[in-house]
C-alpha cells in the first residue's frame, strides 16, 4: 500500500521546500523582525513594552485601531453576505456571463489594497456616498467617524541626533527615469524578482508548446507517471523511477519501463487522468498572468486618474 503522507525528496518535494523557504524569507522573517523591533529598546538594547504603552495611551491611535477593526468586521460580514449567495447561484444555475463574473471576482481579489481602501473612502469618507446619506444623523456620524483630529505636542518624535536635512547634490541632475533605473538596479531583491518574473513569463508563453501534449489530453493508460526528462534520465535523475512504500517495505517502480514506453516523456510527470503536468502548469500560469496583467492595468488606470 502506498504511503502518500510520507515526505519524499523528489522534484515536487524540492519545489515544496523552495515555496516554504520563500514564505519564511519574505513573510515570516519580516514579521518576526517587526515583532522583535516592537519590544526592543534601541537605546538600552533590552526588552521593553514602552512602545505599546505609548501606542495605547493615546486615544488617537487606539481609536484608529478600533475603527479599523470595525471596518474589517463590517467588510467581512458584507463579503460573506454577498459571496455565499453568489457561490450558491454559480454552482446551481447556468448564468449568462458567468465566466466574465468569475474573472471580475478574481481580478477584485488580486487588486492592490489601495483600490479597496479608496473604495471605502468613496463610500464612508467624509464626503462619501453612505456618509452623505446618513449625514443628518448625528449619532451615526459620531459612532463611525471621528469628529475632528487634534495633534498634541508629544505625538511626534524626532528619530536621530541630526535634525539637519542632507541634500543630494546629484539628485537634481538626474532625470526621472534615470533615477528609477538607478534605484531599481541597486535593489538586489527587485532585480532577482524581475529575473524570476521574466522566466515565468517566458515559460508561460513557450512552455505549453515545448512538448507534444495538449493540456486537456487524457491518456488513462499513462496516469500517475513520475517525471522523466530526456538527457537527464542518463544521469540517474528524472528517469521515471518512483519509490513505492508498502506495508512490507519499499521498492522502486518505473511506469515507463513496466509498459514498454521507452519514447514517452512527461517532464513533470502525469496526473491521475494521464494528462501532462508540465503543459497544464504553464497553461495555468498563462491564465494567471493574464488575469494579473488585467488587474494591474485596471489598478494603474484608476490610480493615474486620481
| Residue range 8-57, pLDDT digits in tens | 677 777 888 888 888 888 778 878 888 888 888 878 878 888 888 887 78
Three-state SS sequence of 78-125:
HHHHHHHHHHHHHHHCCCCCHHHHHHHHHHHHHCCHHHHHHHHHHHHC
Any domain includes 292? yes
CB-based contacts of 283: which residues, under 8 Å, 6+ apart?
A: 207, 208, 215
208: in domain? yes
CA distance linking residue 200 with residue 281, whole number of Å: 11
Dihedrals φ, ψ of 10, to 5°? -105, -160
How confident is the model over 102-158, as pLDDT tens digits?
777 766 665 556 566 666 666 666 666 677 766 655 554 455 555 555 666 666 666
Between CA 200 and CA 33 the distance in angstroms is: 30
- Mean pLDDT, the chain, whole residue set: 77
For residues 268 and 238, give the distance between their C-alpha atoms in angstroms, rounded to a whole number.
9
The 3-state secondary structure of 266-291 reads CCCCECCCCCEHHHHHHHHHHHHHHH
Reported as a single tens digit per residue, the pLDDT across 171-216 is 555 676 787 788 888 888 888 888 988 898 899 899 989 999 998 8
Query: Which helix or strand (DSSP H or E) is residue 129 part of?
Result: helix 129-133
Residue scoring higher pLDDT (36 or 296): 36
Specify if 256 maps to a domain: yes
Would residue 86 count as lying in a domain?
A: no
Strand partners, 253: 242
Residue 295, in any domain of the structure: yes
Residue 259: inside a domain: yes
Q: Which domain holds residue 222?
A: 192-306
Confidence category of residue 162, pLDDT binned at 50, 70, 90: low
What value does the mean pLDDT take over residues 75-94?
80
10 Å Cβ neighbour count for 190? 12
- Please state, in angstroms and rounded to a whole number, the distance separating the CA atoms of residues 248 and 165: 74
Give yes or no for a contact between 288 and 107, defined as CB atoms under 8 angstroms apart.
Answer: no
Quote the pLDDT of residue 1: 45
| Domain count along the chain | 1
Q: Please, are residues 244 and 2 in contact by the beta-carbon 8 Å criterion?
A: yes
DSSP H helical ranges for 146-258: 176-185, 188-206, 255-258
Which DSSP helix (H) or strand (E) runs through 254? strand 249-254
The pTM of this model reads: 0.48
Q: Is residue 105 part of a domain?
A: no
Strand, helix or coil at 9?
coil
pLDDT for 240: 87
In a domain, 103, yes or no: no
For residue 225, the number of C-alpha atoms closer than 13 Å in the C-beta half-sphere is 33
Q: What is the pLDDT of residue 246?
A: 74
Amino acid at each position: 500500500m502506498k504511503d502518500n503522507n510520507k515526505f519524499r525528496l523528489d522534484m515536487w518535494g524540492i519545489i515544496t521546500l523552495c515555496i516554504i523557504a520563500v514564505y519564511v524569507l519574505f513573510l515570516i522573517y519580516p514579521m518576526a523582525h517587526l515583532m522583535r523591533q516592537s519590544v526592543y529598546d534601541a537605546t538600552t538594547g533590552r526588552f521593553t513594552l514602552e512602545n505599546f504603552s505609548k501606542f495605547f495611551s493615546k486615544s488617537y491611535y487606539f481609536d484608529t485601531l478600533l475603527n479599523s477593526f470595525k471596518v474589517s468586521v463590517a467588510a467581512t460580514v458584507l463579503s460573506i453576505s454577498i459571496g455565499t449567495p453568489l457561490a450558491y447561484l454559480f454552482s446551481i444555475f447556468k448564468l449568462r456571463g458567468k465566466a466574465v463574473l468569475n474573472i471580475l471576482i478574481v481580478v477584485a481579489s488580486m487588486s492592490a489594497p489601495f483600490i479597496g481602501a479608496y473604495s471605502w473612502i468613496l463610500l464612508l469618507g467624509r464626503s462619501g456616498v453612505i456618509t452623505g446619506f446618513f449625514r443628518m444623523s448625528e449619532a451615526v456620524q459620531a459612532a463611525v467617524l471621528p469628529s475632528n483630529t487634534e495633534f498634541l505636542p508629544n505625538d511626534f518624535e524626532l528619530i536621530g541626533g541630526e535634525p539637519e536635512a542632507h541634500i543630494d547634490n546629484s539628485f537634481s541632475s538626474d532625470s526621472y527615469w534615470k533615477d528609477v533605473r538607478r534605484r531599481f538596479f541597486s535593489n538586489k531583491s527587485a532585480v532577482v524578482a524581475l529575473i524570476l518574473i521574466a522566466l515565468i513569463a517566458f515559460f508561460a508563453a513557450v512552455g505549453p508548446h515545448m512538448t507534444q501534449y495538449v493540456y486537456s489530453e487524457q491518456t488513462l493508460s499513462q496516469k500517475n507517471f513520475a517525471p522523466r526528462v530526456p538527457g537527464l534520465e542518463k544521469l540517474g535523475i528524472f528517469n521515471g523511477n518512483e519509490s513505492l512504500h508498502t506495508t512490507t517495505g519499499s521498492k522502486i517502480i518505473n511506469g515507463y519501463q513496466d509498459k514498454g514506453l521507452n519514447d514517452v516523456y512527461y517532464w513533470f510527470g502525469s496526473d491521475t487522468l494521464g494528462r501532462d503536468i508540465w503543459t497544464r502548469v504553464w497553461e495555468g500560469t498563462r491564465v494567471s498572468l493574464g488575469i494579473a496583467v488585467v488587474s494591474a492595468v485596471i489598478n494603474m488606470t484608476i490610480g493615474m486618474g486620481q
